[in-house]
Amino acid sequence: MVIKVLAIGDIGNYLVTISKYVKKSKIDIINFPKDGAGKFTYDENYELFENYKVVDQVKKINEIKKNYDLALVMGTGERIAYLADLNYITYYVGRDIDAPRFIKNSKEPWYKEQLHRLNFLERSFYKKTFDFAITHIAPTWVFEHLRKYSDKCIKMDRKPIDLTLFEEVPASLSRKKEKFTFFCPQRMSISKGTDILWKALKYCKTDFKILQVDWRDLTTDEENRTSLQLRENLPPQVELIPMIKRKDMPSYYGWADAVIGNLVIGSFEYVELEAVICKKPVISFTDKSFKIILEDIELQSPFLPENNDPKIIAGVIDKIVLSKDFRETLYKQEYEFVKEITDPVKAGEWWDSLFEESRKKVDSINRKSPMVVVRFRMMLFLIANRLYHKKLEKLITPYKHDK
């Protein structure tokens, strides 16, 4: 029997990729409205919530949850599943757990300013949404943060690539290329190591260009301020280009000579993996202390450098520009690693197995908590967020609750 999974939220198009490769499960995704960078980075086939109102989102989930056996959530999808009283699995990919909302004044390691300034009731609410999950899952470096808070966490290091989009690289761009060119599609941000890259470029001795996508971090005042400083102080090698839709990314990977990924976290993200699948060598800082485990076997990441000192990064950049042999050797090593770490068929099998095991633990997608408890959760959320009395009045009015 096919297990029907309702996915709420999808960060980095991870779940839409998984949905194409599971065989014993069927994943339907409802994502949050497109705005800002999401207009470019989202897959184009999502069903979307009509707005950002939590009450409306919960209402929508309550209307459709009877059609599913289990829920899978990412990001703020976790709070929607909790308020809708679902049995859910949570998959974490970054700041939702390296700076969790349930920790007072939480901040990410590379920033001084707090990411969240939530009151006691808000933190209590988000701790409940975290604890309510059946299982917590995270990859590579993210798992090191997750394990600090969860005793029901699973490490899943495989990050599948949608081969229908990235394996067959389309014709490259008609854009003229005057010199060796790197493609850098990630945000300008301290969290991506852009500040380190800018410093490294001062030490480079070769002639090249970097095409940097013109987007940056804006969530906090510090992110906005520091990313704006990076944008306003571009090194001479850097040229800004407009945001790119996801479906067009393979053309840019195919056109570039090499790609620059994250230079601060010490692990690969999707930019690095997609670029290698598109047959390009990648520069990305690797912290060897992060273990990569697949089927109980430890893999070694071949991405370079293994030290993110700007001078060392500059040396790797120059070697890639100057030496075809170095580029080809690095690419071959990266490709052998990436084709295994991104295998979507094996990832689909892993998720099918997880859904089967999770389904054995629960009777249905409905947690079947007492109605008064479910209403209290919503009241706590609204009160904690200092919303208006009229919204509480609507909540107190009896409504249909699926059992």
Digit-by-digit pLDDT tens for the chain (403 residues) are: 899 999 999 988 899 999 999 999 999 999 998 776 666 666 767 889 999 899 999 999 999 999 999 999 999 999 999 999 999 999 999 889 999 999 999 999 889 998 888 888 899 999 999 999 999 999 999 999 999 999 999 999 999 999 988 876 666 688 888 999 999 999 999 999 999 999 999 999 999 999 999 999 888 899 999 999 999 999 999 999 999 998 899 999 999 999 999 999 999 999 999 999 999 999 999 999 999 999 889 999 999 999 999 999 999 999 999 999 999 999 999 999 999 999 999 999 999 999 999 999 999 999 999 999 999 999 888 887 764 334 444 444 444 434 3
Give the span between the Cα atoms of 11 and 76, in whole angstroms: 10
Q: Which residues of 102-125 are buried (b: 16+ CB within 10 A; e: fewer)?
A: bbeebbbeebeebbbebeeebbeb
Element (H, E) at 117: none
Residue 124 is predicted with a pLDDT of: 93
Question: Of 157, 200, 184, 198, whose CA–CA distance to 275 is shortest?
Answer: 184
Per-residue CA distances from 146 to 79, 95, 208 (Å): 17, 11, 40
- CATH 3.40.50 is the classification of domain 3-160+346-396: yes
Classify residue 32 by its DSSP letter: P
Query: Residue 170: its pLDDT value, please?
Result: 62
Tokens in use for 247? Answer: 């479906």
pLDDT of residue 401: 39
Q: Please tell me the distance from the alpha carbon of residue 165 to that of residue 161, in angstroms, as a whole number.
A: 8
Q: Which helix (H) or strand (E) holds 124?
A: helix 120-131
Structure letter (DSSP) for residue 296? T
Residue 138 has which token pair?
A: 């995270």
CATH 1.10.150.120 fits 163-342, yes or no: no
Q: Taking a C-beta distance cutoff of 8 angstroms, is the pair 394, 384 a contact?
A: no
Angle of helix 389-396 relative to helix 54-64, nearest 10 degrees, comes to 20
| C-alpha Rg value of the chain to the nearest Å | 22
Q: Are 237 and 266 in contact (CB under 8 A)?
A: no
Q: What does the pLDDT read at residue 399?
A: 42
Count of C-beta atoms within a 10 Å radius of residue 181:
18
Strands (E) in 127-272, as ranges, are 135-138, 153-155, 181-184, 209-213, 238-241, 258-260
Amino acid letter at 308?
Answer: N
- The C-alpha atoms of residue 49 and residue 51 are separated, in whole angstroms, by 6
Supply angle C-alpha 191, 301, 266, rounded to 5: 20
Q: What is the pLDDT of residue 249?
A: 92
| Dihedral sign from CA coordinates of 274, 253, 263, 335 | positive
Could you tell me the sign of the dihedral formed by the alpha carbons of 327, 329, 332, 335, in that order?
A: negative
How many degrees, rounded to 5, is the angle at CA 164 between CA 183 and CA 7?
100
Cα separation, 43 vs 198, whole angstroms: 31
- Domain(s) of CATH 3.40.50.2000: residues in the chain: 163-342
Q: Is 291 helix (H, G, I), strand (E, B) or coil?
A: coil
- Could you give the 3-state DSSP secondary structure of residue 354? helix
The CA–CA distances, whole Å, from 361 to 10, 28, 206, 278 equal 24, 21, 59, 40
